[in-house]
Amino acid sequence: MEYQFLSEEYKKKCEVQGTQEVFNYDYKGVKQECLVYLPYDYSKDKNYKFVYLMHGGGGNIHRLFRVIDDSCPLQNALDHMFYHKEISDLIIVCPTYFGYEEGSDEELVKKFSHKLTTALLTSVENHYGSQGYLTREERVFGGYSMGAVTTYWQFIQSLDYFKYFIPMSGECWVKGQLGGGKYPKETAYYLANYASNKGLPFEIYQFVGEAGIAYQHVPQQIEEMYKYKEVFNEDNLKYFVSPYVHDSIYANEYLYNALPLIFK
């Protein structure tokens, strides 16, 4: 896919700005937190689609919305996209796979789907004005680095709840750590076989920076996935390569490319 770069305007603060707040919910009797971004024209009386974004390894709910030099690159881009009507009626939710039990990042991302589907979805969507149960066509799951690994786990474990997926600078570890690069054929076969048996439509928007460490693994997996033409094609597996290093600061530009295509 042709990659679109953010204009300088979208990197600066917008004249209208959304808001960020921390939302608490319960999972198995333990308080959990997520960060919620609401667009500038948010109203609880409207229906919204939800975009769930996971941080990378060792991160937290604030990581993707981190502030640099008194400015938040992701919020700036989103604010402009809402203001210019490139996207509308979306709420962004940044959860974490930490906060319930101990374990490595690799172990916790594999378990995150249960917390997501049994606690977070209903709690946050009902609170922020979803009028009734959302369909899978109204939800997106994405993430950066280890968040991308989490995204592929949601593709495998939560496809009933999500149609759209945005893995950024990371790949599928279903066959082991760094599996997209180490075991690309086995990984692609597993994903193709799962998707074929599941029979649900989906769209994956894969991003990677060619100057980053994930570029050692992601291209091999995508190349193998495209070989299963009956399952993966350029309509449901869109592959974007940027010139960037491995840094979640570029999630703003990756989402600038993906979200308008998803909700066109």
Contacts with 190 (C-beta within 8 Å, 6 or more apart), sequence order: 172, 174, 175
State the DSSP code for 55: -
Q: Tell me the pLDDT tens digit for each residue of 94-150.
A: 999 998 888 999 999 999 999 999 999 999 999 997 666 899 999 999 999 999 999
* Nearest alpha carbon to residue 205 among 150, 159, 255: 255
229 vs 182, 222, 224, 241, CA distance in Å? Answer: 22, 12, 10, 21
How far from chain centre, in Å, is Cα 11?
20
Length of the chain: 264
CB 128 within 8 A of CB 48: yes
Q: Is the pTM of this model over 0.75?
A: yes
Q: Give all domains of the chain, ordered by start, each with its CATH number.
A: 13-169+203-210+238-262 (3.40.50.1820)
pLDDT of amino acid 27: 96
pLDDT digits (tens, 9 = 90+) for 218-257: 999 999 999 999 999 999 999 999 999 999 999 999 999 9
Angle in degrees, CA 40, 140, 194, rounded to 5: 180
Distances (CA, A) of 93 to 15, 50, 135: 23, 7, 17
- Residue 44 is predicted with a pLDDT of 87
Give residue 130's pLDDT: 64
